[in-house]
Each structure stands twice: as C-alpha cells, then as structure tokens.
A and B are shown apart, each in its own frame.
Chain A
Amino acid sequence: MRHVLSVLVENEPGVLSRISGLFSGRGFNIETLNVGPTLEEGVSLMTITTTGDNQIIEQIIKQLRKLITVIKVVDLTEMQAVEREMMLIKVNAENGNRAEILRTVDIFRCKVVDVATTEMTIEVTGNQGKLCALVNLLSRFGIKEIARTGTVALKRSMQLD
C-alpha cells in the first residue's frame, strides 16, 4: 500500500543522503521525495511517498526515527491529510489542437505558463489522481517533457471521522 510520510529533519549537510541511503541500503522503495525548509530555521520537512506492506512501513518509520538527524516522523496515511503535487507538462500544440488543449487546461484549473508555435507548457497542481488524469488526456497530443515535484502533504486541521 502507498504511504505518505512526513519527516521533520535537522537541516545538516548529508541529511538527504542519510535518508535516501537508508531506503536504498535496506531495499525500501521511494516513490517520491520532497524536501523544503520549514518555519523553524535549521529544520526541513521531507515528504516521502513509499509503498510496502504494514510490516515494511513499520520498519521504514522505525528506521527513520532511529536516524540521529530525524526529529519526527508522521505517517499521514493514518489520518486525513491534504496532498498536493505540482507538475509542469510540455505538450505538442499544433494549431488544430490548441483550442482543445486550452479547454482541458481550463477544466483542470491549470495555467499555461509558456507558449511557442508548436508547443505549450502547462502548470498544474493537485493530487496524484488529478495529475494522472491530465497526463492521460494530454497524451494524445504528444507530451514532450514532464517535471514533477513529488507529493507534499500536511495533516488536515480537523480530523473528522
């Protein structure tokens, strides 16, 4: 099963390598990994999506907690969380297709951030499902490049049953 882990770490040199090394060294899978600063100086937040059965996920979380530079690990899959990913997608946009692409962009509430005579770059944010749907829809025009950030996530303030 896919899990989203929110990992608070001391922002020291090598911390990313400690985390990624833990995954590769122990044969755990990383689907996406995203790092950024937090409100607190010297502390970064990593959002890691990974897959595995319960026993593997339990090991991943425990092993992460064991690292000296890791402050906190939360499995967001166990609670309600907001998950977002940003993607830039460069698509073939010949004259005949342009209108349809723009309509799709509109429906998906994404933005065109770059246009040229034969292609268009679109910025989109959303959860995995939305991003996949857009990729599917645009693929028939021919996708030239994709850049994705990987998931970022935060726990929802209200945990409703």
Chain B
Amino acid sequence: MELTGADILLECLKREGVDVVFGFPGGAVIDIYDAIPRYSLRHVLVRHEQGAVHAADGYARASGKVGVALVTSGPGATNTVTGIANAYCDSIPMVVITGQVPTPLIGNDAFQEVDIVGITRPCTKHNYLVKDVDQLATVIRQAFYLARSGRPGPVLVDLPKDVVQAKTKFVYPKSVKMRSYNPTIKPNKLQLKKAVDMFLDAKRPLFYVGGGVISSNGSEELSWLARNLNIPVTATLMGLGAFPGDDPLFLGMLGMHGTYAANMGINNCDVMIAVGARFDDRVTGKLDAFAPEAKIVHVDIDPTSIRKNVRVDVPVVSDCLEALKGFKELAQARLDEKDWKKVHQPWVDQVQGWKVEHPLTYKIDPECNKDSGDGKIKPQFVVETIYELSKGDAIIATEVGQNQMWAAQFYHYNKPRTLLTSGGLGTMGYGFPAAIGAQLAFPDKLVVDIAGDGSIQMNIQELITAVCNDLPVKIVILNNTYLGMVRQWQELFYARNYCATCMDAQPDFVALAKAYGAEGYRITEPEDVKPVLQEAFALPKACIIDVRVTKEENVYPMVPAGASLTEMLLV
C-alpha cells in the first residue's frame, strides 16, 4: 500500500519510539497535522516555535530520549534557530522537522520560504532537505541515528509540502549505513592503560567531568572510580549530577563561578582526568594558567574537542561510559597492589581543607532574620530551600544568568539528568519550556524552573502550554528587578554604569499567572519562603512564585573573565 509523505513521517516517528512531539502548525505542514490524529502520538501545541525546541530539548535531557519538534516553513523554521543552536552547544539529541514550500517554488522567494537548511548548517549536527518522497523514510531514520549516536546533537529535516503530499510505498530501512559517519565508541586500550597508570600513581589526581558523562550514562562508573580510588571530582555546569552533589569527594562546580575548592583543586592537581568536558573558556579562565601542574587525560567522543583548547597528554577518543568502564576494569586489576585510598588521602585532606576554608556561602546581616540579608530575601537561600523541600529529588531547569549560577551552586544534584540548563549558548528563556518538556517526560516529578525576572519574560507565553496540558511546572522567579548578571559585571568592571539592566517596570507576575490559568504567589518576607514554596510545590498545577530577593546580590566566587582560576573574588 502506498502512503503519503505525512504518513511515512509519522510511521517513522512511531518506529523511532517517539511518543511526544512539540509543535506549531502552519501551511507547509498542514498535511502532517491532518495525519496526526490517526496516530497515538501526543502533540503538544506550544505558543512559539522556540518554546517547542526548548521543550523538546528539556524532554531529551531529562529522559535521555531524542526530543522532537515540528514546525512550519519560513518564520516557523527561523524561530527554531536559537533552540537548535542551544541544543547543538550542549550536544542534545533532537530531531527538528520543518515544513518547506513545495519543491517547484523553492528558490523563488515564495510565501513563507526560507533556506532553513542553509541557515542551520553551522548549528546542527547535520541537516537535510528531502526532495523526493522515496528518500523520506531513509532520511528520518538517518536523522534519528545521527541525533542519538556519537556526540549527540540536533538534526534538522526540511520537508517540502509536495513531498509530504506525495505517495509512495513505505519501506522502513532496517539499519542505517553511512560510510562517512563512524563515530569511535570504544576506547583504545593502550591509551586507557596509560591513563590509568598515570592517575593511579598520581599524588593529586582530580576528575573534571562534563555533560558527556551524563549523556553517556557513565555516572555509576565514575562514582565507583572516585570512591574506590579516593579521587575528588569537580564538574562543569553541564556535568552537575554526574557525581552526587553531596558526596564528600565532590568539590562543586569549577570555573568562573566555581567553588574555591574546585578551582584550587584544578590549580594544584598533578593529573587531571577530563571526561566528557570540553575546556570551555568559562571553565578554564586564563588558559596559560589552567591546571599548570597537571598532566591531562582527556576522554571525549568528539576528536575535535581534544587539544582544541589545552594540551593533552593522554587523549582517549571514546564514548565516556566505555572509557570509564575501561578505567574501572584496569583499576580493579590493580586494587590489590596498593591501598590507593591511602595513597590519595593526603590530597583528599588538602582538598577538603579548601572546602572548609571557603565554603559556598552568602552574607547574612545579623540585624535581620537569620535567613535573610538586608531585611530582604537572599536568592541563595531560596535555592537552598527548594533543595530542602524537594529533598534533592526534583528536576531543576534554569534560565540564564545569576539565577542559573545560584541554582548550580546551592542545589545539590545527586542524580544525573536532574539539572536542565543552557550551558554552552547561555540562552535566556530556555528554562521554562525545558521544564515543560521534562514534566511531560516525568509527569509525577516535581519540576522547578529557577528563573530570573529578565529571563522568564523571554518565553513566558508557554504558561498556557503548561496550563492546558496539566503540567504542574513551578517557576520560581528570583526577582531582583535587574538583568542581574550583566548588572554584576557593570558593578564590578564598568564603574556601576547600570545601563539598560534595570527592569523595575515589570508585569504583575502573580496576576499574569492567574490570567493564564496558573497559580501565582509573591514572597517578600524571608519567613514566607519555606511555607509558600511548600504550598506551591504541593499544588497540582502550574505556579509562578515571584520571590522579591535582595536587589544587588552578586554571584561569588567569581573569576573575572580572562583571569586565572586562582584569582577568585570571594564573598
């Protein structure tokens, strides 16, 4: 039997195990929408295509599956670009399907035509324009394969309207063969051995882990290695949750807003085992001064990540899980040789000394309530309270800026896939739609978007998406009426010239929540933080909690851009 392109697409999605699609219809995809009701596929109607892509991204990060977004041509397609670039920077598996004008019109500046394949070439792992319905099934199969294998990433498939309408016999390819794409999954054994010998015999070894450990599901192996060999762990923003946040061996996040212990650890370690992390400039600070005494082992599935920024002594091109398994196997064989825990204990003692010396903290004014600063609410305290109330069992999404850094610092991520945050691109407006995606993947979990008053306004229209899909996402706005992080930079490095960062003209977030059919709360007193959050978290509907926090609170520690990690401004 012959099927239309629309049916072929939906059949393929079914076979790829897709159960939810985030989308927004339009003329070029109307035939696909016409076919959707015939399939047991949940379509979530967003209010802006950027929201669809971020929601698919949040769904993918939380569940480990491929997120899917479906949008129309032209503006529908261009509205996805930020979301796609965001997923590309953070290596999130995603397939974005865009409509396109009919093939005879392509290139004619037709209504709602845009060269989305050209536009997204630099920010997708790969992209396709399907010109013939006979290619459709193969392309969709390849798109999913590319999105989830190797270094994951977003793949865009552009579908002209006539291709979607055309009919052909549906043949779902049994396997995918692409001779030009063969990611290295298994590590080289010699390199593994070199690495293990190097960090076992090291005096001051340190794990520096990133999002790759989470996306490869390597957390268990990492924990085994760290605990059995007594090696401290620091994580990037993307790596938070890869190792239990409350483990004594965990030093917290490193880098620009990293902890004192983590940054001192980097500065003093003699062997660094970098796993699934890419030495981003927010992590390394001044490159010449980064880990000056360390030999570096770098595990990454993407060879371009290795030696891109730093010299590497032992490169291991491999899936992180496979490499960590390999490390574990080799280390196990050497467990009887020496008491490795004892070997590394003096270093662990030193590292833990730093934790005690300069823990993450914030200033509390003794005149006021102990939980508050200058009579108002400290944003860090709000994050701590979210951790306390959720017992660390929530999925936290964040926006971008100070709220994101406090969410990284003051909530302990004990399990992987519990922090959804825009690491590489730093996309304001990411958190809330991502939280919607995560809530769809885990309807029974507490999902909290830790937001700023600036960021939340970038995709606030998705409130109605949450409400009409019964998604009880909680948005906690750390409202300081500033674009806080930029204001912090202006304060510290631009002589307090607060140009264009004051946002005291604000919507009434509580009324706004109610207008959308969600619940709204405002907290202005420190003693209300806990009870109100408790009430909101228990409510089975979407909520905005507008918390009026100390206006000019800064994120510390802070390494000024371009400085070395030891040059931290502390509280």
Contacts and interface: CB of A to CB of B under 8 A. Distances in A.
Given A71-B179, A71-B180, A66 B303 contact: yes
Interface in A51-89: 55, 58-59, 62-63, 65-66, 68-71
Interface in B144-174: 146
B111 interface: no
A27 interface: no
Contact of A63 (B118, B121, B179, B304): B304
Contact of A68 (B122, B146, B302, B308): B146
A62 B304 contact: yes
Interface string A22-48: 100100000000000000000000000
Contact of A10 (B118, B180, B302, B304): B180
A18 interface: yes
A17 B118 CA distance: 8
B126 interface: yes
Contacts of B146: 68
B490 to A, nearest CB: 29
Contact of B121 (A14, A55, A66): A14
Contacts of A14: 117-118, 121, 129
B538 interface: no
Interface string B115-135: 001100110011001000000
A68 B303 contact: no
Scoring B118, B126, B180 by chain A CB atoms within 10 A of each residue's CB, the highest score goes to: B180
A96 interface: no
Contacts of B179: 71
Interface in B93-147: 117-118, 121-122, 125-126, 129, 146
A71 B181 CA distance: 8
Contacts of A129: none
Contacts of B118: 14, 17
Contacts of B125: 68
A58 B307 contact: yes
A142 interface: no
Nearest to A55: B307
16 contacts: A9-B180, A10-B180, A14-B117, A14-B121, A14-B129, A59-B307, A59-B308, A63-B304, A65-B303, A66-B302, A66-B303, A68-B125, A69-B180, A70-B180, A71-B179, A71-B180
Contacts of A13: 129
Contacts of A10: 180
A63 to B, nearest CB: 5
A152 to B, nearest CB: 21
Interface in B287-315: 302-304, 307-308
Pick the 3 closest A-B CB pairs, nearest first: A68-B126, A62-B304, A71-B180
Contacts of B190: none
Nearest to A9: B180
A58 B303 CA distance: 10
Contacts of A71: 179-180
Interface of A: 9-10, 13-14, 17-18, 21-22, 25, 55, 58-59, 62-63, 65-66, 68-71
B362 to A, nearest CB: 40
B178 interface: yes
Contacts of A58: 307
A21 B180 CA distance: 19
A17 B129 CA distance: 14
A71 B182 CA distance: 10
A3 B100 CA distance: 40
B122 A25 contact: yes
Nearest to B131: A13
Contacts of A21: 121-122
B121 A18 contact: yes
A68 B180 contact: yes
Contacts of A59: 304, 307-308
A55 to B, nearest CB: 7
Nearest to B125: A68
A17 B303 contact: no
A110 B367 CA distance: 92
A20 to B, nearest CB: 10
Nearest to A62: B304
A55 B311 CA distance: 10
A58 B181 CA distance: 19
Contacts of B181: 68
A123 to B, nearest CB: 36
B147 to A, nearest CB: 11
A62 B303 contact: yes
Contacts of A62: 303-304
A59 B125 CA distance: 17
Nearest to B115: A14
Contacts of A18: 121
Contacts of B302: 66
Given A22-B122, A68-B126, A71-B180, 16 more contacts: A13-B129, A14-B117, A21-B122, A55-B307, A59-B307, A62-B304, A66-B302, A66-B303, A66-B304, A68-B146, A68-B178, A68-B180, A68-B181, A69-B126, A69-B180, A71-B179
Contacts of A68: 125-126, 146, 178, 180-181
A13 B158 CA distance: 14
Contacts of A63: 304
B121 A17 contact: yes
Interface in B176-203: 178-181
Contacts of B307: 55, 58-59
Contacts of A69: 126, 180
Interface string B280-292: 0000000000000
Contacts of B117: 14
A68 B307 CA distance: 21
Contacts of B121: 14, 17-18, 21
Nearest to A72: B180
Nearest to B308: A59
Scoring A9, A14, A25, A63 by chain B CB atoms within 10 A of each residue's CB, the highest score goes to: A14
A98 B125 CA distance: 57
A61 to B, nearest CB: 9
A21 B118 CA distance: 10
A60 to B, nearest CB: 10
Contacts of B129: 13-14
Nearest to A63: B304
A9 B178 CA distance: 12
A24 B304 CA distance: 17
